[in-house]
Structure 1
């Protein structure tokens, strides 16, 4: 206790503690300011640090025997904070990896604690010496890292001593040794703890480096193997790497080296503040383990684009790789309002997502950033409305061709720095929303409307939240309001929901991406929507089995398959010819090679089945198991695999595909949306029934009928006029799925666009591969890009109305009705005047 009282009676030491706290607060204040404004705060921090050093100097506390070591460490900690404040303006270090930042904080607290070591219990002292050993290693690393600028720091010290910040790691390293010698260094337990801190730190570095080397060697070996055979392979070398490496944190960092993590190779870019030359949206980081391991063991040698492809396929990183016209580094999603209307007896829902995004950079300088969101839609769902708030007013989107919308957005965003927003369809039924500009300390708001079918699962209808990838949702709030056209039966909901008035489900709190509600399916009710001499109605979908003479069965094997499933299938398939794709070769299964083929094929994390290698598509069946994290069709563009697939698709082939379980991969999902094959899914018993009966579900879709399999329903289109009893979402769902079916292989082969399909998308006001929604600031912008709104369309969908467009004869009936009402209302007055006359 005497030590504690003595420390707090020491005015120099107490002043140091207070000033250290002040410098820390000052450091945290300008976290979201511009570089120019940050420099002002740095000088304030630096001034306090220099002032405290001068007080130590002139008070004589730095002389030998004056107990100046502990106050000097307070000065070093202020100097460290000042160095990190300067780092914002002159980035010697990128943002520290989380583990390293935590380590530095613990070590800093440990330096302060050493002033009270005499009153600490022995176990606490040992922990303190252990941390001191770790600190010594950390600051030795930092000293070596900043060594190139240390000489410059010594030469330019006369400029307010700013460049001397380069000496901070060296000072910590030297004075850590001195602190160890001055603090019970002769006692063996403390020596052991100190050297244990150093030894364990070195051991961690060595183990990490060895693991890095193993991952790099594996990637390089696989990459080089297939790169040397490029002329003879269907798939690019990066894809074989992605299929055979083991995803883990070290592999991910090895792929992101230079793009995200600082390495010796991009040292000069880091110090000269050039930033990253890669199109990758992730905060750049400094991780000492990555720096050391990459310096000692190198990289995989893969091209930058190939590494990005692997990251997209294995780590669900497509959002980070999205093309950007402007940065979005400082954007934060602040609030999400989800409003949904559900029609249980039509198995249809309409959802509006109102999203607020803020540029958190509080600066006096203009800073325009681009907000990009990727929304993941259920299969068969379609975007049917878009709004952007401009100057506080909601402006509705206008539907146009994808080419016109993209041209307008790029021209305005890239050159004129004004207000557009655009929605584009993407492969795998995801859509991209872009909003520009989001200015410094400004919040923008947009609204997206999605028409979607409900999922029919085990006699229950499921509505799942439509989630998105976008600017950070840490701290994002969400309000949810779900209403039902008719009261649902046996309603099951997440705990976040409560019952509101009129039977609504409401929730309020932090944003969550994975909530859902479900209720009993009570069957479809015959309801109609009528527009433009067409009537849309729903009916239950029941599989219609057709004859299927199967002679060849192709097993699409990856590491989601079990050996038991494989053996069971071989027994089930009997005397049929069975094929397995291994290393781009189709091998027939025999008694002699059956085990070897499975072992080779099951090593692959995912599979891209080469349908073009099927010799007799009419009598062939492909059996697969889905895996979500795998390449998409877009990733395969310009490969020989894709060229062969396009030629095969152009022939109009239809193979039978059976899914044994799991969600279809992006590759197969896209082919399914294009109606490339006859599809079914189920377990082994269901497959046996189909094989025994020699039957398989037929494709029953045509130009007047589309199937939404997940919802278990058919939407029919018939000519005529009826009174609408259903929402306009029936037409929108029909149009989207009909367009996808009609485009079919052309969606992948980039065939000519059909004017009829473009007109169908325009009439239903939906986003498709051919059409996009766009919001521009002024009417003159629409005129300049020849973007015109259609008068004879459903317009933007809405929660409040059905959106029906009256037919010409309906307009006539409405006018006649209004005239009749007016006549009946004013008839007494007219009759009175006629009598007087």
Structure 2
């Protein structure tokens, strides 16, 4: 049949009337359906889907061989491509059982789908308009490049495949890419004729692929060279190599893949690993991936010499991805978050809120080894917030957590999870306003439920208050549903809500897909009269108005990073005219002059974050540091055992309250930790506020002590004084006071790991708050608590609750309640006098 003499409609009809071709399309559709279903609802490693797909490929091969489509001159090229596509689907099904390739990246999967559709379209080539034909040849060139790459990747196992082909022919799947290359060349030669346009588009596509590959590899090498150069300068600053690298490393997809090469992205086709399962890295929570560009670049341009642990530190600093690097006792690869229930109660007149999140985590697998997995969640809390409750459902019953020391909780959890594999959950405080929750075990095909409660200050500013949702990192929320309910103690004025909420009286509610980022705002109507009484102390809130103190400035230090602009820099220098100004560059503190100011600025504005060396300040009491917030940086714990941190710890023990002014943005994790330690006197504002402070020579004083703490984001001060008045406010006053008081009392000890007195641990127990010293844990039985000497405190607030929002009676109030109860019982059950006489 001469296809070129037929009209387009005739070509399409002739092809679709071909029973063998039509059957092949049906087989291909069935094979793809099996592949997709196996990937979504069954295990990855069961061989059943593979054998079904393999059987379809074998049966179709027999069909077209018997039909004569494989004979020379049989015009069976398009039938062969359907068979090859069946083999390709079968090969990727086999890959789920025998791990030849790691999971393909999204872009490569999309390319394979496009080139596969293009092969099918060639059966109707002569019915296509000229521009479409040119595009088809362009895609054909890309296809040849892809399958040449896959052929090269599999060369090392082809010899083994030949020796073992007798195992039902299964090992011959490694030759599928090579057959695609051969028959793509045949297709090209048979189809293009002498058309110059088709030749140009075909070879152009190959040139484009080569150009992209070379450009990617060159850029890959450029970044590695820069990493090595920056790393060499780190030693002089007393910092590890990875810190200097992360300060200047670009933030893009290529740089991230370089950092993840070897433990997320495959960088060499080694066959010394097992083909039958792919054990995920316990250092990083991300599935192993196969990216042809990464593989090629690693071969052509090399891989970074920096070790895996240091590269993980860079990822943590650059991408705020510490959750992925958290220590894991068991894998959680197959887990997903299936439901979140968020309930919040807000006290607008107290500038605080309490939030409970009940989370259901599910294992999508039905059967596999190991039979259980560990769920790990990292919750990001608003500044000043504290975890005040934890529950785990065991045998369909809610079991509440017990507050104990962090060391005891950690020992109990690791002992049970690591060796005994029973039911614990634990929550630990982390630097940077985060906490981690661990739940174990989640069995295959089953779900577990836990609940976390957080007491938070509202963020005050510009006459309004803001409540922000508490979001988390953890098992995927792609298919998660959420129910949200928000109530208010008093009706808020000028309430602004996102469109997701429905409103009913004094309640907001929503049901739908999980949404991590939402907030509410309303007018700040001031603080109402309030008091909470417990154990002989009264806790109350007042509006915080910074108490200004005289600032005797001698030196001003500019902590410049990429967030600064040149105009901002010039404006600050103008304000500081006549002052001694310093900047830290080239690993030394340099005085700023008219001659060197722009040289220093140009050098430092390339830094994505700064680690200002406070220990270089010679006179802290008369020094001010002016900074600008960045969202990323290392945290103090990641810098332990470095010369930099040793010097900082020594300085912290003798420092006397340096002034820190933040020109804008959220403080970096490094500075947030120092702020929690009360390392400096802090103020935040724009250039006009800075000008005012400099003009008046004043700065906010440090006013915290044993009887009052400042919750700066909420604009409140919480006081604690002796007394036994009746409570008219929630117990969250005491919880917020205790957390902030403990952090204030620990101060530099939070970093120096100095000894803390039992009084701070007892304060955490009494208020039931999670701190650097204390954690909440749920164990399966009372015997487990006894074994690890974990005892609940009777004289404490216990776990916070939405249904019990506060007032815990004082001892004299308990006595009054008991007396009233006895009177009521007596009145109800006493025998009337007349009745006794009658008897």
State TM-score, norm by structure 1. 0.97
Residue of 406, 416, 441 corresponding to 1:412: 416
- Structure 1 residues 300-339: aligned runs within 5 Å: 300-339=304-343
* CA-to-aligned-CA distance 1:352-371 (integer Å, 9 cap, x gap): 01111111112266521111
Partner of 1:832: 834
* CA-to-aligned-CA distance 1:387-445 (integer Å, 9 cap, x gap): 11112111111111111111111011111111110000001120000011111111111
Contact 2:728 2:807 in 1 (8 A): no
Residue of 200, 205, 208 corresponding to 2:208: 200
Contact 1:32 1:362 in 2 (8 A): no
- Structure 1 residues 231-310: aligned runs within 5 Å: 232-264=236-268, 268-269=272-273, 275=279, 279-310=283-314
Unpaired stretches in structure 2, ≥5 consecutive residues = 1-8
Partner of 1:468: 472
Range moving further from structure 2, 734-743 or 644-653: 644-653
1:481 is aligned to 2:476: no
Q: CA deviation at 1:41?
A: 2.1
Q: CA deviation at 1:510?
A: 1.2
Residue of 694, 717, 741 corresponding to 2:697: 694
2-side partners of 1:36 and 1:513: how far apart?
30
Contact 2:233 2:244 in 1 (8 A): no
1-side partners of 2:457 and 2:295: how far apart?
49
1:664 is aligned to 2:672: no
Range moving further from structure 2, 333-342 or 48-57: 48-57
* CA-to-aligned-CA distance 1:12-67 (integer Å, 9 cap, x gap): 11111111111111112222578796212212221221111112222222102222
Residue of 720, 723, 727 corresponding to 2:726: 723
Range moving further from structure 2, 173-182 or 186-195: 186-195
Partner of 1:383: 387
Partner of 1:151: 159
Contact 1:479 1:508 in 2 (8 A): yes
Range moving further from structure 2, 477-486 or 211-220: 211-220
1:18 is aligned to 2:26: yes
1-side partners of 2:379 and 2:635: how far apart?
16
* CA-to-aligned-CA distance 1:496-554 (integer Å, 9 cap, x gap): 11113x42011121111110011101110011111111111110100100111010111
- Number of aligned pairs? 831
* CA-to-aligned-CA distance 1:339-389 (integer Å, 9 cap, x gap): 000011011100001111111112266521111000011111100001111
Unpaired stretches in structure 1, ≥5 consecutive residues = none
Partner of 1:745: 748
Contact 1:385 1:773 in 2 (8 A): yes
Contact 1:258 1:265 in 2 (8 A): no
Residue of 736, 739, 752 corresponding to 1:736: 739
Contact 1:537 1:716 in 2 (8 A): yes
Residue of 662, 679, 684 corresponding to 2:682: 679
1-side partners of 2:281 and 2:34: how far apart?
32
Partner of 1:542: 545
Residue of 444, 447, 456 corresponding to 1:443: 447
Contact 2:582 2:591 in 1 (8 A): yes
Contact 2:383 2:433 in 1 (8 A): yes
1-side partners of 2:278 and 2:369: how far apart?
20
Partner of 2:813: 810
Partner of 1:403: 407
Range moving further from structure 2, 419-428 or 565-574: 565-574
Query: Which aligned segments of 4 or more residues in structure 1 are displaced greater than 3 angstroms?
Result: 32-37, 265-278, 822-827, 833-837
Partner of 1:525: 528
1:39 is aligned to 2:78: no
1:178 is aligned to 2:186: yes
2-side partners of 1:103 and 1:185: how far apart?
26
Contact 1:793 1:805 in 2 (8 A): no
1-side partners of 2:354 and 2:252: how far apart?
39
Partner of 1:348: 352
Residue of 591, 607, 610 corresponding to 1:607: 610
Q: CA deviation at 1:276?
A: 5.3
* CA-to-aligned-CA distance 1:598-656 (integer Å, 9 cap, x gap): 22222211101111110001111111001011111112111111111111111243111
CA-atom RMSD, angstroms?
1.6
Partner of 1:552: 555
User: Counterpart of 2:759 in 1: which secondary structure?
Assistant: helix
CA distance 1:678–1:19, shift in 2 (3 Å): same
2-side partners of 1:35 and 1:507: how far apart?
34
Q: CA deviation at 1:307?
A: 0.8
1-side partners of 2:222 and 2:694: how far apart?
46
Contact 1:261 1:285 in 2 (8 A): yes
